Amino acid sequence: MLLKHILLTYFVLISLKTNAQFFDNEECSVTISDKYIRKIIPVNETGFRNPLLNQYNLKKNDVIYIIPVKFWIFKNKKTSNDPSELKEFIQYLNYYYSINNTGIRFSLRPDYEYINKEKLFNLRYYLQAPFQSLKMKSKACINVIIVDKLVKKKFFNSQKKKYAGTYNPISNGVIISRNISTSTLSHEIGHYLGLKHPHRGWKYKWFQEPVSRTKTMPFSKKKMCECKGDKLCDTPAEPNLTKYTDNKCNYTGWNIKDKYGEVYKPDTHNIMSYTNNRECRNKFTKQQIALMLHTLSENKYSKYWKTDITENKKYLPDAFEPDNYKETATELFFNTPQIHSFHSIYAGKNKKLLYDRTDWVYFNLKKTINRPLTLYLSSVEFTFPELLISIYYNSQLISEKKLTNISQTNKITVNKAKAGKYFIKIQQIVETEREKKYMIFIKN
Ligand SMILES: [Zn+2]
């Protein structure tokens, strides 16, 4: 108990200190290794010195890392445990990180937890957030707390401010509130991956990043854009865009100048910016991607997240995850095969692996048919010892079939199928050490 209080006091002091610096109006703070930043400065217009970017020459579907995300959901008695919101969070993360060719993807850790505590439902930014973020922590993943509201109340002031999210650099955890923009979690995880706000320090002359990309620091040859703001030269210097952008993503601060008298020309679409309408944000720059990949390469768990290591094959989720529950089932379209897999999740040293042995899919039958409806299931590379397939119609179990030694295509038929929504649960009964892919297909 005493330790808890010491820690609490410590983190309150830290958060006060961070806010008292030049971080006014900031949600979060992060530190970047300056040594690395200099390595990713462009050599010329097209080339980057960054070894990771050159090495991978990333294309749209390249995936270098898949990072498990563990959610801690603070709830009260009224909210239901509905994992479909978690699937949405993961899908938006993967959307923003794939359209920008980052090589980074995320998967849902199946051991997410619901915490039933009324008084934490609206989490206090100063007192409760750092403490909870330190407490709700699992290893080998990104920990994300979901609260209903994240509230910041200034001391000696009754004014309340609501926050969409925050990243705590000490606990390395993320907290987000509900009903936020689709890009908020990507922004906070951007901080986890080493990124800072492009407007960092703009209000303070000493810290301000100049608009010019060529201005150098006094008494040194280093470029100012490498040393100030987010320390990246391919993200333009900008003011906090909350006040200076309209709802349609246009910049409205045309008369705002940096301390050298140059007008700002910001990018209103950068995920790390504070664009007023947060839905405008959808971009990471090349240097931001390079920095994220670098931060990952230094993360002690990243070797378990890397996709090109043979031993990690067993950790790779399929493209339809998370789908461990009926609520997170993936739609199966007629005559369109899907390849799914069962996989395990690394949970840290001396910890038991977590297994994902259940998949849910659903399909909609628009009209009742008088002939049988056939579901096909086959293994892809290896044979399955045993699978259990359950089919539900309107929450009622209508068929259950155990499949053993699946080496060729198996058929499951539903006779005289009525129109409606069908759910299929596919369970792996006997664990195998091999890759566990299967193909599922429904014929109309
Ligand atoms: Zn932020």
Ordered by start, the domain boundaries in the chain are 2-296, 321-443
Inform me whether the pLDDT recorded for 50 exceeds 60.
no
Distance 188 CA to ligand 1 centre (A): 6
Dist. CA 114–CA 131, nearest whole Å: 17
| DSSP-derived 3-state class of residue 438 | strand
Written as one string, the DSSP assignment of 349-400 is: TTSPPEEE-EEEEEEEE-S--SS-EEEEEEESSS-EEEEEEEEEETTEEEEE
Distance 300 CA to ligand 1 centre (A): 23
Mean pLDDT of 286-295: 90
Query: How does residue 322 score in pLDDT terms, banded at 50, 70 and 90?
Result: confident
Top-tier CATH class for 321-443: mainly beta
- Please give the structure tokens belonging to residue 269: 């679409």
Mean pLDDT of 382-386: 71
Distance 192 CA to ligand 1 centre (A): 10
pLDDT in tens, 9-18: 554 444 444 4
Per the model's pLDDT, the better-predicted residue between 18 and 318 turns out to be 318
Strand order in the sheet with 358-365: 330-331, 358-365, 420-428, 384-393, 396-406
Query: How does residue 313 score in pLDDT terms, banded at 50, 70 and 90?
Result: confident
Distance 196 CA to ligand 1 centre (A): 7
Taking the CB of residue 149, how many other CB atoms lie within 10 A of it? 15
Dist. CA 229–CA 216, nearest whole Å: 14
Inform me whether the pLDDT recorded for 92 exceeds 90.
yes
List all residues 6 or more positions away from 238 whose beta carbon is below 8 Å from its beta carbon.
198, 199, 202, 264, 266, 267, 273
The domains spanning 2-296 and 321-443 adopt the same CATH topology: no
Question: Parallel, antiparallel, or unpaired: how do β-strands 330-331 and 420-428 relate?
Answer: unpaired
Distance 23 CA to ligand 1 centre (A): 11
Q: Is-above-0.85 flag for pTM?
A: no
pLDDT in tens, 197-213: 999 999 998 889 999 99
List all residues 6 or more positions away from 210 whose beta carbon is below 8 Å from its beta carbon.
224, 225, 228, 237, 258, 259, 260, 262
Answer positive or negative: Cα dihedral of 431, 83, 142, 48: positive
Mean pLDDT of 130-143: 90
pLDDT of amino acid 393? 92
Distance 30 CA to ligand 1 centre (A): 9
Greatest mean pLDDT range, 266-270, 326-330, 398-402, 410-414: 266-270
Distance 167 CA to ligand 1 centre (A): 7
Dist. CA 337–CA 317, nearest whole Å: 17
Distance 184 CA to ligand 1 centre (A): 9
∠ CA 298-303-308, nearest 5°, is: 120
CA atoms within 13 A on the CB side of 81: 9
Distance 200 CA to ligand 1 centre (A): 10
Give the closest residue to 170 by CA, choosing from 226, 129, 110, 230: 129
Which CATH entry fits the domain spanning 2-296: 2.40.160, 3.40.390, 2.60.200, 3.30.70? Answer: 3.40.390
Give a three-class secondary structure readout of 95-135. Answer: HHHHHCCCCEEEEECCCCEEEECHHHCEEECCCHHHHHHHH
Dist. CA 97–CA 305, nearest whole Å: 15
C-beta separation of 347 from 354 below 8 A: yes
